[in-house]
Structure 1
């Protein structure tokens, strides 16, 4: 029986029989239906055993008949714990107050988090949520269940296809999914595809319309690449020309690259600050008298108090401030040159489009002056050169 929840609930004691006939006591206890367990004998021949509190009081008449006397070795179970707690009233009241405060704090909604890449303005969503009572510091038991809240919020936001609300401890997570509307494409009028710059054609694929140039042809800005006029002179039709035209384009770029570079590095100096976080507010606990660094980086760690799956609205936050210093690194002429070329390539590819590829580069001029490397570079880039141009209605096809 030792260690069972029943014995712990009822309470039990460990008893030593100081004198009397132990064998007779055991027989009397068995006849009276009194349960004794873990019966053992000390080296001095004294019997020890465990007995529940109700059976302990029923044991007294048997002890008188056996001429025995007992000594309580230890007391265990809920009744004794409650008695000890009653003697420590301040502690008991404090613990009860803590439990009550914890229950009250965990019954509030402390944080409302909005998730989902919605195109609906956040202010409009927040207003709809406030109208349904989905706001911080709200008594959670006064809110309907999450399914009902989601239905109400969906009615408030007709642009949303689906609204999901999930309660995570003391937080509400609202997920908005926009309704997908068919993309409305603008009406297209018949057009040509023309060259946006001088180039040499490397590839042409006409999806709609009639190709007017071939590979290796040299074209000038404004030349028709794919015509929107198909058919012959008698039977022709104007269409929206579509396709892909790639060409080699030459870009002459002047690059100025400094022979110094600024670098940030850590000095090893650190400062730590700790905060008590309650809701969305933080109260600083330490790190008041530290001198601020001239330049630094701050790393923040927040730990919320969690009770099983419940995230409570308070916790701690630690800030680690790392001192940094800015130094100047001197570059060789070759290093500055390569840094300038790399930056120029990156900017050129961004400007020329996603499919652009640098085929060649040629340094036309190079000099060093005033701590800088100055370059004039000719880049050969394969890129898309076609742009649409609306067709002007004419009586003949010469306007292609």
Structure 2
């Protein structure tokens, strides 16, 4: 049986034919290639059938002289639907505007909830969100990705340890874990403080224990600095020695700096493209044409569009094209040395910790080989050399 569903787009009519010459009328339709379907007889002189709207003019020619009368009972299909839409245009436009408004509001930010933060931290988070252009009334597909928001807040606000970000409907939910002052760790038992490395004592601050050194003493690695055994004989008391002993220490660093180096950098030129994606179909909304950059990097963010609480199989795609260019950096010998000294300082400061400092630095050797400046640098530093050592039974005997 032939499928006539496609006739919906051109229009379909249901026709009732009555008269004595029905068979002759049907034969005439066939000879004139007029396609009909769903033919039903209603007695000997009546029948109904369906046909395409485009063949109605041919039907009127054929019925003349056939002895039959025609009555059009029902009309349906795209042409008739279109006429009804035109006739009820105001109502249709109202529905479309309403749906468009609901769709628009469903894809905007209408709430920001922050839990777990005190008022001061809450204020800082909201100020930072404003800087990131995440605010009420903003389109969701124009905001940052959730993981990017999380990273930005964690890095920019020192008062928080962790923040969870979730988008539910039209509301951003932030769960904050604030930093707490670390509790002082209780010592597990009696202990001494010994030298972690060879050094010359510069300064000290002892909270508990008995000092076994003097300023300017040169101490060896493992030497006892502060004893946790206080007093003698019956007046002996065992404590957990605590304190900081700063000593002058020495390091040697070898640094290599290329005089000429080539690398890729962004030059500041970028192009934005906004695309609506439905399945495999891409519809450009903003940023038409091809990208003229020869060397570039593309960052793509996809946002699912919503209707009320439902996610639609429609995505708003934001593509950012950033132009890159190759840059060759050439240091003079003096610049290379300064850069090497800077790198060496960073390396040493990482070793001696936040409380340490560089007292003096001296370049022992400086050479140029294979397009690189090679430096050997000697550092004199001040750092805390105190190291904890538990007191054992043998220490008490």
Shift of 1:185: 4.3
| Residues 252, 379 of structure 1: 8 Å contact kept | yes
Aligned counterpart, 2:237: 237
Q: What are the superposed Cα offsets for residues 286-336 of structure 1, whole Å, 9 maximum, x if unpaired?
A: 66873685643557899999xxxxxx9999665442211122222111111
Q: Does 1:381 align with 2:381?
A: yes
Aligned counterpart, 2:334: 334
Shift of 1:374: 1.1
Aligned counterpart, 2:89: 90
Q: Which piece of structure 1 moves more, 197-206 or 104-113?
A: 104-113
Aligned counterpart, 1:259: 259
| Residues 271, 290 of structure 1: 8 Å contact kept | no
Check 1:301–1:96 CA distance in 2 against 1; reply closer, same or farther (3 A cut).
same
Q: What are the superposed Cα offsets for residues 28-58 of structure 1, whole Å, 9 maximum, x if unpaired?
A: xxxxxxxxxxxxxxxxxxxxxxxxxxxxxxx
Shift of 1:97: 3.0
Q: What are the superposed Cα offsets for residues 184-215 of structure 1, whole Å, 9 maximum, x if unpaired?
A: 94651111111111111111111011111121
Q: What are the superposed Cα offsets for residues 362-398 of structure 1, whole Å, 9 maximum, x if unpaired?
A: 111111111111111110111111110111212656x
Q: SS state of the match for residue 393, structure 2?
A: coil
Aligned counterpart, 1:57: none
Check 1:365–1:372 CA distance in 2 against 1; reply closer, same or farther (3 A cut).
same
Shift of 1:238: 1.5
* Structure 2 gap ranges (5+): 1-84, 118-163, 306-310
* Structure 1 gap ranges (5+): 1-85, 119-163, 306-311
**TM-score, normalising length: structure 1:** 0.53
Check 1:194–1:275 CA distance in 2 against 1; reply closer, same or farther (3 A cut).
same
| Residues 270, 322 of structure 1: 8 Å contact kept | yes
**TM-score, normalising length: structure 2:** 0.53
Aligned counterpart, 1:199: 199
Aligned counterpart, 1:210: 210
Shift of 1:354: 0.6
Where do residues 39-118 of structure 1 align in structure 2 (5 Å cutoff)?
A: 89-100=88-99, 102-103=101-102, 106=105
> RMSD value over aligned CA atoms?
4.8
Distance in 2 between residues matched to 1:361 and 1:326, nearest whole Å: 35
Distance in 1 between residues matched to 2:104 and 2:363, nearest whole Å: 70
Q: What are the superposed Cα offsets for residues 151-199 of structure 1, whole Å, 9 maximum, x if unpaired?
A: xxxxxxxxxxxxx999998225253558989959465111111111111
Distance in 1 between residues matched to 2:268 and 2:193, nearest whole Å: 61
Aligned counterpart, 2:365: 365
Shift of 1:89: 2.9
Q: Which piece of structure 1 moves more, 327-336 or 203-212?
A: 327-336
Q: SS state of the match for residue 347, structure 2?
A: helix
Q: What are the superposed Cα offsets for residues 122-163 of structure 1, whole Å, 9 maximum, x if unpaired?
A: xxxxxxxxxxxxxxxxxxxxxxxxxxxxxxxxxxxxxxxxxx
Q: Which piece of structure 1 moves more, 317-326 or 106-115?
A: 106-115
Distance in 1 between residues matched to 2:259 and 2:197, nearest whole Å: 35
Check 1:116–1:356 CA distance in 2 against 1; reply closer, same or farther (3 A cut).
farther
Aligned counterpart, 2:175: 175
Aligned counterpart, 2:392: 392
